[in-house]
Structure 1
Amino acid sequence: MRILCLCLGWLMVALAIAGVFLPLLPTTPFLLLAAGLFARSSPRFEHWLLNHPLFGDTLRRWRENGAISTRAKSTSVALIVASYALFVLFGSPSAMLAAIVATVMIFPVLFILSRPGG
């Protein structure tokens, strides 16, 4: 089980790195999964990830109290709103489809806004 968690942890790190370059692939959720998998398989890699100069602060803040930085919150919500606006402007969806997409998109926004800042 330890080896499986270790391999999955590195897969999540690889997906997170790809997410830095691919706009539709998120980075942070994969890093959170990697940290959890490394916690079960390799304290050394968990320590490396939690102390990483770029990602460590975000991961520690989430682990300690489920916090999302104010900057990350505002950026995330702004991108979700912009995505919806582009969908409506250029996709010309029916009113029903636009309402369904808006309903689906509101849930991540509410979750993001409900997290403590930091």
Structure 2
Amino acid sequence: MRIFLISIGIVSTVLGLIGVVLPLLPTTPFVLLAAICFARSSDRFHDWLISTKVYKAYVLEFQKNRGFTLRQKFKMLLSLYIVVGFSFWMIDHPYIRIGLVIMVILQTVVLFTLIRTIPDKG
């Protein structure tokens, strides 16, 4: 079971890191999954993961506050809209464009309905 959890943790970490530069892939859920897997299987991997900038930037605040500030939500959406907009402009296939629009709508709805908006501390 330990090897299975470490394997899932490594795959989740890689997907989370890819999600940092590819806004179509969510970062936070993958890094959370990796943290859970590593916490139950390897102290060394868990300690490494929670010390990374990716964990601190995407997971720690969310884990601590159970939500994002309105400013953080808009920053996430801005990067998403830019990348998807570029993809929409570059790809001339109607079904892919429809898929991109549906994905953006779903991500926006989830961010504003399922993820709590916390007050800005600054």
TM-score norm. by structure 2 comes to 0.62
Question: Which residue number corresponds to residue 79 of structure 2?
Answer: 79
Counterparts of 1:2 and 1:105, CA distance in 2:
37
CA, structure 1 residues 86+21, in 2 after alignment: closer, same or farther (shift >3 Å)?
closer
Structure 1 unaligned blocks of 5 or more: none
Task: Give 1 or 2: higher strand fraction.
Answer: 2
The match for 2:8 is: 8
Identify the residue that residue 109 of structure 1 maps to in structure 2.
108
TM-score, normalised by the number of residues in structure 1: 0.64
Q: Tell me what 1:31 maps to.
A: 31
The residue correspondences of 1:38-77 to structure 2 (distance < 5 A) are: 38-50=38-50, 52=51, 54=53, 55-56=55-56, 58-77=58-77
Identity %: 28
Unaligned runs of 5+ in 2: none
Q: Distance in 2 between matches of 1:34 and 1:44?
A: 13
Greater RCO structure (CA 8 Å; 6+ sep): 2
Residues 1:41 and 1:78: Cα distance change in structure 2 (over 3 Å): same
Q: Is the 8 A contact 1:58 1:68 kept in 2?
A: no
Judge conservation of contact 2:24–2:80 (CA < 8 Å) in 1.
Answer: no
- Write the deviation string for residues 17-63 of structure 1: whole angstroms up to 9, x where unpaired: 4555667655433322211211222345334433x151235323333
CA RMSD of the aligned region, Å?
3.4
